[in-house]
Amino acid sequence: MTDTAISATTLTAQQYREARARRAKRAGLLKHVFLIATSLIMIYPLIWMISASFKPDNQIFGSLSLWPQTFDWDNYGQGWNALSVSFTRFFLNSTFVTVLSVIGNVISCSFAAYAFARLEFTGKNMWFALMMMTLMVPYHVVLIPQYLLFLNLGWVNTYLPLIVPKFLAGEAFFIFLMIQFFRQLPRELDEAAMIDGCSPFKIYWAIIMPLSLPAMATAAIFSFIWTWEDFLGPLVYLNKVEDYTVPLALRMFLSQDGASQYGPMFAMSILSILPIFLFFIIFQRLIIRGIAMSGLK
Amino acid sequence: MEKFFRRNFAGYAFLAPWLIGFFLLAIGPILASLYLSFTKYNIVRPPQWIGLDNYFYMFQFDDRFKKALQVTFSFVVISVPAKLIFALGVAMALDKGIRAIGWYRALFYLPSILGGSIAVAILWRQLFNYDGVVNSALRLVGLDGPYWLADPKYSLWTLIVLAVWQFGSPMLIFLAGLRAIPQELYEAAEIDAAGPLRKFFAITVPLLAPVIFFNLVLQMIEAFKSFSGAFIISGGSGAPLDSLLFFTVYLYDEAFSYLRMGYASALAWVLLLIIAAFTAIAFWTSKYWVHYENERG
Amino acid sequence: MASVTLSEVRKAYSGFEVIHGIDLDVHSGEFLVLVGPSGCGKSTLLRMIAGLEEITDGTIAIGDRIVNDLPASQRNLSMVFQSYALYPHMSVRKNLAFGLGNLRMPKPEIARRVADAARILQIEELLERKPRQLSGGQKQRVAIGRAIVREPQLFLFDEPLSNLDAELRVQMRVELAGLYQRLGTTMIYVTHDQIEAMTMATRIVVLNKGNVEQVGTPYELYNFPRNLFVASFIGSPKMNLLAATIADGKADIPGLGTIALPPGIAAAGPITIGLRPEQLTIDASGPLTLSGTITLVEYLGSEVFIYLRLQTGQTLLVKAPGKSSHHNGEKLTISLHPDDAHYFDAKGNRLARAGE
């Protein structure tokens, strides 16, 4: 009597398990269909742009096709020299601004983050609150007075307005990201180092920084991407074509008359995002972890 | 006194770059723009105090200002929820150890990395051309797409789609939030015979509320700040018929096309106050729907 | 080697005082253990001596020098942390040499000291490893090594053994005691484990709620606890406490009987009588016998702990030799010897007998 009761329940439990597994499999399949479809739509425009960069102008529009009938590398050669100044110059300009900005951001933001995360000083909480509030302030609000300031300093039409602020820890996002990381490091390390005769600077340099390379790399990568893509800053401060960064140069394609340069324009667009794309491929894990950790941008 | 100095020296030394930046490039400019907003100023002649005239003019006579507000609000109100819902949906599909999650994650995040670039803005312009890719796709299903970029009725949608396309970062943050929900809760709910919908509303949403709130505030601020997409797609002017006149675009236009620095400063302050108000409202309402786990009753 | 002198040392966090004016003399070359329940302020006190926490009031002197305003690095001391705090990105060798490098010591001297410390602690073959490749016990040795290479005048230990498992803890306890004998340097050691305190210390400081309850050798603390707190904190298992009243030179324990007080104890009114488990004997030889029922027997091999419930409802803990056999529910009669007992007045302070 008891035996049959037990086998009956085990049977139903097994059936239940099987039904559940079937359901889960079906749901998993549906999920993959949804995800694959979504990612195809997501990625389609980018692939289309790559293919368009190889097409002659007359094949670009009116077609969904991702495969050019003929591969036309000419667009790249033409695009590189399509403007009054060669793209060699634009890329060099962008590289110059970006490299210095990355260095400035990493140094100055890690300084501020170290002070907030590790040092005690009067008014710390107030400064921290103010720092977090600057996250909210749109660049447009400070743009005009900053422009007037740099105009008076004679810095307009130089790269200084684009670079100097990066050395003044203007990017609260990076400070926040680094603070989060520093706080995970045990405080006893600092204390051991203090007893070992380290000054605050030595603790920063010999203990905190070597242990925070992932955070520094994340900040450097984001700094690189944002500076490379920055449009408004160069738009306001750079007026001479030979000083232009790549995004400003790209825009010149749009303002040119006779708009028959779609192929070259796409070719240069592809080249302009290529560094970012490569960075993304290489540092994907750091970037994704950085976002999940800081919960920002 | 000497002790006070010694205790604070290191902290302020490390904070120095940020402090200089804060005063010179953040709080200084914010206050300066408040002052300028009460003046008439075209850079050539010194600022001339006109009291609240800029604000009176703005709210009483400036139709472009009203148009800019309307465009910006429409953009924020549609694009932010759409982006968040999409991000949450994809994050939920990706949660629970799906195969190839790394690939999906990277693919979905890629647009967020590239989305701010001029290259993508240029691409968008071409996608939504009358004979561009979007209309070609619609034609496949027998629909005749409109003139997306030329028709003020449709132009804003191109930017909304562009914003939603960049759903990657809120998605990553949601994903991290979903991972933090203990699996036992779902199992307990299952034993309590809760269906998928009930599980979503009774467990996922309440436990994810802090993350949803965080993403909401952040994306809202981002949406108010967004500039380069609208600037490029509208050709720098908000065209067609000011239907893409984002607040930031209008501000830039007033400041740097017409050199109305005083008026543009007033616009900047209005933008700052709008963002502050929206953030404050979000925080104020959050206590009714966001509950933090470590909160004491 | 140095002495340490604390006078009227106070610590407050934003107005809330956690250390209430402590006076303490640490003799040169002694192994002083600070012990007390969690939150008693023992770690704070140690960190103030180290220079990791500021002193709100009072003075701390190491040797003849007042060090209140001296940064940690200039106090010529070293410290072993609970979490070891080894620098994760440096090899063991670098960890040991790091502090010496900061002192701008010549390279050969650094190498000599690192080699010496490695030999003493038997970590020579670990020198090139990173901390994450070490076991808990090995990390502990490296942390101690990092402290001894400095050849400081004072060692500080902040619960250094609490992250180790029981077996290793006993082993490291022996090694630390050996190290102390070898170096003879002043050591201040914080722990919440009274067995560690009893076994290693030359003197123990019992702290409670930011005050010193008693300072003394392990023998003094065990045999002459100055108050009820020390009496019940030191000794495991705990001392039995019985409430009593003194009248006419006799103590009346309600429901259990009356005992004559040892000479010298003069008090009136309510008192507490303290009896360590080994001071109750299973026989009827004493002037006062108590009987009850056994509710629990804990067999530890070398000894047995018997929980005995008296008619009054109180439970006494009795320690008996391991060979004795008892079982639950058994009726048992024990003797109380008034001369062995400790007596505390209504405020919990020890009532000294003649000759103490």
Structure tokens at C138: 């090995």
The ipTM of this complex is: 0.87
Token pair listed for A191: 């204390």
Segment C275-285, tens digit of pLDDT: 999 988 888 88
| Inter-chain Cβ pairs, chain A and chain C, closer than 8 A | 54
Q: What phi, psi does A268 have (nearest 5°)?
A: -70, -35
Q: Which of A118, A196, A202, A209 would you mutate first to test chain C, the one with the most C CBs within 10 A?
A: A196
Q: What percent of chain C has pLDDT over 70?
A: 100
Please tell me whether residues A146 and A258 are part of one structural domain. yes
If pLDDT is split at 50, 70 and 90, which confidence band does A208 have?
A: very high
Q: CB neighbours (10 Å) of residue A255?
A: 9
Query: Do A71 and A179 reside in the same domain of the chain?
Result: no
Reported as a single tens digit per residue, the pLDDT across C142-187 is 999 999 998 899 999 999 998 888 888 888 899 899 999 988 899 9
pLDDT surpassing 70 at residue A256: no
Least CB–CB distance from B14: residue in A111, A145, A148? A111
Q: Are residues A111 and A217 in the same domain?
A: yes
Q: Which one of A127, A236, A284 has the shortest CB-CB distance to B15?
A: A127
- Closest residue by Cα to residue C191 from C158, C169, C218, C236: C158
Is B214 an interface residue toward A (CB < 8 Å)? yes
The residues in C 71-90 lying below 8 A from A, measured between CB atoms, are 71-73, 77-79, 81-83, 85-89
Q: Is B13 inside a domain boundary?
A: no
Mean pLDDT, rounded, for A245-254: 89
- B102 domain-assigned: yes
Q: List CB contacts (< 8 A) between A228 and chain B.
A: 117
Give the end of a domain, one of A75, A95, A111.
A75
Give B267 to chain A, closest Cα distance, Å.
8
Q: Report yes or no on B196 lying in a domain.
A: yes
- Regarding whether A52 and A10 lie in a shared domain, the answer is yes
B138 touches chain A (CB under 8 A): no
Interface of chain A toward chain C, CB-CB under 8 angstroms: 186, 188-189, 191-198, 202, 206-207, 210-211
Residues A15 and A38 in one domain: yes
Q: Give C350's DSSP letter.
A: B
Full 3-state SS string of chain A: CHHHHHHHHHHHHHHHHHHHHHHHHHHHHHHHHHHHHHHHHHHHHHHHHHHHCCCCHHHHCCCCCCCCCCCCCHHHHHHHCCCCCCHHHHHHHHHHHHHHHHHHHHHHHHHHHHHHHHCCCCCHHHHHHHHHHHCCCCHHHHHHHHHHHHHHCCCCCCCHHHHHHHHHCCCHHHHHHHHHHHHHCCHHHHHHHHHCCCCHHHHHHHHHHHHCHHHHHHHHHHHHHHHHHCCHHHHHHCCCHHHCCHHHHHHHHHHCCCCCCHHHHHHHHHHHHHHHHHHHHHHHHHHHHHHHHHCCC
Hey, what are A2's tokens?
Answer: 């008891």
**Model pLDDT for residues A33-65, shown as the tens digit of each residue:** 888 888 888 888 888 888 888 887 777 776 667
Same domain, A6 and A88: no
What whole-number distance in Å separates Cα of residue C8 and Cα of residue B24?
A: 47
CB of B101 within 8 Å of a chain A CB? The answer is no
Neighbours of chain C (3+ CB pairs under 8 A): A
Number of domains in chain A: 2
* pLDDT tens digits for range C244-265: 998 877 888 888 888 888 888 8
Average per-residue pLDDT for chain B: 88
Domain that holds residue B144: 58-289
In chain B, which residue's Cα lies nearest the Cα of A48?
B133
Stronger pLDDT, B2 or C116, i.e. the higher one: C116
Nearest chain C residue to A213 by CA distance is C89
pLDDT in tens, C57-69: 999 999 989 998 8
Pick from A75, A108, A136: which residue ends a domain?
A: A75
The mean pLDDT of B261-266, rounded to a whole number, is 94
Hey, what are A48's tokens?
């289309």
- A296 — pLDDT class (breaks 50, 70, 90): very low
Contact A140 B110 (CB under 8 A): no
Q: Which residues of C touch A197 (CB under 8 A)?
A: 73, 99, 102-103
Give A206's contacts in chain C (Cβ within 8 Å).
98
This prediction's pTM: 0.86
Residues on chain B touching A65 (C-beta within 8 angstroms): none
Counting the structural domains of chain B, the total is 1
Residue B190 lies in a domain: yes
pLDDT of residue B133: 84
User: Comparing C-alpha atoms, which of B245, B227, B247, B229 is closest to residue B237?
Assistant: B245
Of A171, A183, A199, which Cα lies nearest the Cα of A101? A171
C-alpha to C-alpha distances, C70 to B10, B132, C62, C67, C148, nearest whole angstrom: 16, 74, 11, 5, 21
Say what the pLDDT of residue A62 is. Answer: 65
**For range C186-215, the mean pLDDT:** 93
pLDDT in tens, C102-149: 988 999 999 999 999 999 888 999 999 999 999 988 999 999 999 999
Which CATH number is B129's domain given? 1.10.3720.10
Q: What percent of chain A is predicted at pLDDT more than 90?
A: 47
pLDDT band at A7 (very low <50, low <70, confident <90, very high): low
| CA-atom Rg of chain C in angstroms | 24
Does position B95 have pLDDT exceeding 90, yes or no? Answer: no
Tokens at C10, concatenated: 């106070």
Name the token pair of B127.
């996608």
Examine the fold and report which residue of A75, A105, A137 is the final residue of a domain before the chain moves on. Answer: A75
Q: Is B23 on the interface with A (CB under 8 A)?
A: no
A125 shares a domain with A98 = yes
Instruction: Indicate if the pLDDT at residue B200 is higher than 90.
Output: no
What pLDDT is recorded for position B202?
86
Please say whether the beta carbons of A217 and A283 come within 8 A. Answer: yes
Shared-domain flag, residues A207 and A273: yes
pLDDT of A6 strictly over 70: no
pLDDT level of residue B97 (50, 70, 90 thresholds): low
Cβ-based contacts of A169 with chain B (< 8 Å): 17-18, 21
All chains having 3 or more CB pairs closer than 8 angstroms to chain B: A
A69, pLDDT greater than 90: no
Between CA C181 and CA C120 the distance in angstroms is 13
Q: Enumerate the H helices of chain B as residue ranges.
A: 2-21, 28-36, 53-60, 63-94, 101-114, 118-127, 133-140, 155-165, 168-179, 183-191, 196-199, 205-225, 228-233, 247-252, 261-289
Contact B207, B181 (CB under 8 A): yes
Query: In the prediction, which pLDDT does A297 show?
Result: 40
Residues 6 or more apart whose CB falls under 8 angstroms from that of B225 comprise A138, A139, A140, B248, B275
Do residues A164 and A260 both lie within one domain?
yes
Assigned domain for B27 exists? no
Predicted confidence (pLDDT) at residue B187 exceeds the cutoff of 90 = no
Give mean pLDDT, residues C323-343.
88
Residue C148 contacts A, CB cutoff 8 Å: no
d(CA C269, CA C260): 15
Give the range of the structural domain holding residue A141, as residue numbers without chain letter.
82-294
Q: In whole angstroms, how far apart are CA B184 and each of C11, C268, C302?
A: 45, 62, 46
Rounded to a whole number, what is the distance in Å from the CA of A268 to chain B's nearest CA? 8
Taking the CA of residue A202 and the nearest CA in chain C, the distance in Å comes to: 9
Same-domain pairing of A42 and A184: no
pLDDT in the model for residue A8? 52
* Residue C94: pLDDT band with limits 50, 70, 90: very high
* Residue A40 and residue A142 share a domain: no
Q: CB of C102 within 8 Å of any CB in chain A?
A: yes
Structural contact between residues B154 and B147, judged by C-beta atoms closer than 8 angstroms: yes
Q: Is the same domain home to A9 and A133? A: no
Cβ-proximal residues to A233 (8 Å cutoff; 6+ apart), any chain = A161, A162
Q: Which residues of B touch A137 (CB under 8 A)?
A: 26, 30, 272
pLDDT of residue A240: 92
Mean of pLDDT values over A90-111: 96
